[in-house]
């Protein structure tokens, strides 16, 4: 469904305005600095970095531009544009094809456990994004120097 439809339908359920609801809801979301650093270092090392995301698209709110991560990826596969979403194995195969890699050459990070099994079935090493140690774990899998966690901001 297009993001504008999601905005209107969700707003109706919540009893709020649908105008840019996704943008308003996600406006405070920020990229994890350790993961940004890891993506930058991976690309500098010649590793293909891909974004495989279940998303309603970019209009009126583009979460990838808003968080500053769009430029981190060599390959971008967005479910709302593909017409298919994780955990359907087809979208993982499309991503591998666009990367030009075999599953055994890849690591897949996701914050939803149900999205890991289809990747693993294609030979991809799955990593559950479940806390601050994720970037360091992925760095080890990619044979990159460890990623240091940033201290929590003082409030």
Q: What is the pLDDT of residue 57?
A: 86
> In Å, how far are 30, 47, 52, 93 from 99, measured between CA atoms?
26, 10, 11, 10
138, 126 contact by CB (below 8 A): no
- pLDDT 10s digits, 11-66: 999 999 999 999 999 989 999 999 999 999 999 999 999 999 999 889 999 999 99
Q: What is the pLDDT of residue 154?
A: 43
Q: What is the pLDDT of residue 56?
A: 85
Radius of gyration of the chain (CA): 17
Q: Which CATH number among 1.10.1040.10, 3.40.50.1000, 1.25.50.10, 3.40.630.30 corresponds to the domain 31-141?
A: 3.40.50.1000
Q: Which residues does 121 contact at the CB level (< 8 Å), separation at least 6? A: 89
74, 49 contact by CB (below 8 A): yes
pTM above 0.85, yes or no: yes
- pLDDT 10s digits, 113-145: 999 999 999 999 999 999 999 999 999 999 999
Name the pLDDT band for 150 (thresholds 50, 70, 90).
low
């Amino acid at each position: 469904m297009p993001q504008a439809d999601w905005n209107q339908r969700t707003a109706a359920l919540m009893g709020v305005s649908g105008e840019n609801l996704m943008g308003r809801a996600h406006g405070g979301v920020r990229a994890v600095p350790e993961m940004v650093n890891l993506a930058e270092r991976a690309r500098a090392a010649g590793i293909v970095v891909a974004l495989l995301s279940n998303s309603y698209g970019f209009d009126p709110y583009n979460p990838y531009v808003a968080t500053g991560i769009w430029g981190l990826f060599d390959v971008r596969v967005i479910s709302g544009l593909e017409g298919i979403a994780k955990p359907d194995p087809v979208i993982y195969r499309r991503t591998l094809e666009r990367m030009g890699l075999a599953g055994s050459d890849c690591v897949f990070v996701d914050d939803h456990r149900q999205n890991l099994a289809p990747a693993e079935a294609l030979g991809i090493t799955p990593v559950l994004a479940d806390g601050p140690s994720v970037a360091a774990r992925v760095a080890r899998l990619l044979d990159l120097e460890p990623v240091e966690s940033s201290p929590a901001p003082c409030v």
